Amino acid sequence: MDIKTLARTAANGRLLALEAVHTAASGHPGGSLSAMDILTVLYFNTMKVDPANPKDPDRDRFVLSKGHCTPALYSVLALKGFFPVEDIKLFRSIHAHYSGHPDMNNVPGVDMSTGSLGQGVSAAVGMALAGKLDKKDYRVYTDLGDGEIEEGQTWEAVMAAAKYHLDNLCAIVDVNGLQIDGNTSDVMPSEPLDAKYEAFGWNVIHVDGHDYAALIAAFEQAAACKGKPTMLLARTVKGKGISYMENNAGWHGKAPSDEQYEQGKKELEAVLAGLEVE
């Protein structure tokens, strides 16, 4: 998919994510917006998935380890055609199954139920091990938050992935620098991340998490790297695309008011209009 179409898809995804959180009057917009470009590139460029056959045993897998970012995942899955785009209005609703955190049994296209931080990456390691055991060539992707990696379990998983040389696994840390209580550097400093993951035996790639061409190239480099798993350290902006949310930890898990929703919508629609004109 060309860069402009990816940009348009991501902008549409941001509109849907904003609508989801606004309609539900709850959810996590900040991290969803920071992850949107990464997920868009994965589902519309990099991953082999078929919305008509969501359980295809040979498909690539994606595990949203930072499971609260369902507004991003559900929006991308809907745009990809796994379920109707109108369903985004049912996010977190008692009248449907679009739960606050990913549910693999009820939401088509979701490969793993996640939500409790630190657990998704272990499941991704298991999926990559199964792929090796079955000699299949599918790849496994997982997106973690830079707050999430404070969970010790993620480091257990990182050791295991290196031990088993899981070059079919690509993890992404969405490094937006913020978590609920503020800056990750204040709550629990984790840098230098590149040196840490390299020391744990991973291939580490730095990438701008909002640069489509760079993300495409990084996923290609990850696939080309043999003998070890790859970690993408994706620099991102929490709340990316909506001015009042950007770089503001307060928007981690809060829904916009009607007025804020309209403003955000206007900003995203302007981005879309710009992409049409060019």
Partner 1 sequence: MAEKIATRAAYGETLVALADQYPQLVVLDADLSGSTMTKDFAKAHPERFYNMGIAEANMVGVAAGLAACGKKPFANSFAMFAAGRAFEQVRNSVAYPGLNVTVVGSHGGLSVGEDGATHQCCEDIAIMRAIPGMTVVNPCDGNEMRAAVKALLDHDGPAYLRMCRLAVESVTDELPGYQFELGKGVTIREGSDVTVAATGLMVQAAVKAAEALAAEGISVRVLDFHTIKPLDGALLEKAARETGAIVTAEEHSVIGGLGGAVAEYVSEHCPVPVVRHGVQDQFGRSGKAQEVLDAYGLNAAGVVEAVRKALALKK
What are the Cα distances from residue 229, in Å, to 160, 171, 224?
A: 10, 8, 11
| Tokens, residue 256 | 């916009």
- Binding of residue 50 to partner 1 (CB under 8 A): no
Q: Which is nearer to partner 1, 33 or 124 (CB)?
A: 124
Binding residues for partner 1 restricted to 103-122, rule: CB under 8 A = 103-105, 111-116, 118-122
Among 1, 85, 96, 160, binds partner 1 (CB under 8 A): 160
Among 6, 125, 178, 245, binds partner 1 (CB under 8 A): 125
Instruction: Mark 94-109 as b/e (b = at least 16 C-beta within 10 Å).
Output: eeeebbbbbbbeebeb
- Binding of residue 85 to partner 1 (CB under 8 A): no
Contact pattern for partner 1 over residues 211 through 250, marking x by CB under 8 A: ----------------------------------------
For residues 112 and 123, the answer to whether their CB atoms sit within 8 Å is yes
Tell me which residue has tokens 């804020």.
Answer: 260
- Binding of residue 124 to partner 1 (CB under 8 A): yes
- Binding of residue 150 to partner 1 (CB under 8 A): no
Among 3, 25, 134, 273, binds partner 1 (CB under 8 A): 134
- Binding of residue 57 to partner 1 (CB under 8 A): yes
Q: Which long-range contacts (CB under 8 A, 24 or more apart) does 256-265 make?
A: 256/18, 256/21, 256/22, 256/29, 258/22, 261/18, 261/19, 261/22, 264/18, 265/15, 265/18, 265/19
Q: At closest approach, how far in Å is the CB of 275 from partner 1?
A: 37
Among 21, 78, 128, 144, binds partner 1 (CB under 8 A): 128
What are the Cα distances from residue 94, in Å, to 73, 77, 108, 199?
A: 19, 20, 18, 45
| Site residues (vs partner 1, CB under 8 A) | 57, 61, 63, 103-105, 111-116, 118-131, 133-134, 152-153, 156-157, 159-160, 163-164
